[in-house]
Amino acid sequence: MTNRKSQIIELTLKNIQEKGFTSFSYDHLAKELGVTKASIHYHFEKKEDLGVAVCERIQKGLGEAYTVIKESTVAAEEKPFAFILRRIKFLEQNGVCPITALQADYQELSPSMQEKVQQLSQMEVDVLVELLQDAKNHGSLQSTMDLEALAILLISSTKGALQYKRVLGEDFFHKMLEQLKKLLK
């Protein structure tokens, strides 16, 4: 099983979304996989190494989502929201956004992970700004907002809403999504 490695990464991603980086353990991970801790240490010597691998996994997913949306036949003005919807669909399966979870644990992370989380956060913004810029160039986005500020607003509110959803239930969540869509007119 050479894909045990990616199996571990996927399971860790889920655990980070559910518990956060500092709160999941190799022991718990191992039990879920039906192996021992030592086996996971074989694939990722330190927890930090596993963390970095998960960040790269997230980065890849983010890049793929961008490419898919960018190259899709959807109208340019629909793309920012389509991108957000796509990310939510991916995230909703396991809880809150893993990047949010990593940001919350930021001060406890190793320098190598902090750097990755920085890159991830920046990439999230950049990718959405590009889609917003395209929409604006097509004359379809009326917003007079600074696009970076709009991007953070969209990203933050979506992720924040996911946290409220976990605590308060689904109701607000869909209401809020509809309202977000209106912001993008």
Partner DNA sequence: GTCTATACGTAGATAGAC
Partner DNA sequence: GTCTATCTACGTATAGAC
101, 20 contact by CB (below 8 A): yes
Which position among 49, 94, 125, 130 is part of the footprint of its own copies (CB under 8 A)? 125
Q: Which stretch binds its own copies (CB under 8 A): 55-63, 69-77, 96-104, 134-142?
A: 96-104
Alpha-carbon span 65 to 179, nearest angstrom: 23
By the 8 A CB rule, do 139 and 74 touch?
no
Q: By C-beta, is 37 or 70 nearer to DNA? A: 37
C-alpha span between 22 and 47 (Å, rounded): 10
d(CA 167, CA 162): 9
Helix (H, G, I), strand (E, B) or coil at 25: coil
Q: Does 20 bind its own copies (CB under 8 A)?
A: yes
Q: Which residues bind DNA (CB under 7 A)?
A: 1-2, 4, 24-28, 30, 34-39, 41-43, 45-48
Which residue is associated with the tokens 């991603």?
Answer: 13
Q: Output the smallest distance, CB 122 to its own copies, in A.
A: 6
Chain residues in the site for its own copies (CB under 8 A): 18-20, 22-23, 95-96, 100-101, 103-108, 117-118, 121-122, 125, 144-146, 148-150, 152-153, 155-161, 163-164, 166-168, 172, 175-176, 178-180, 182
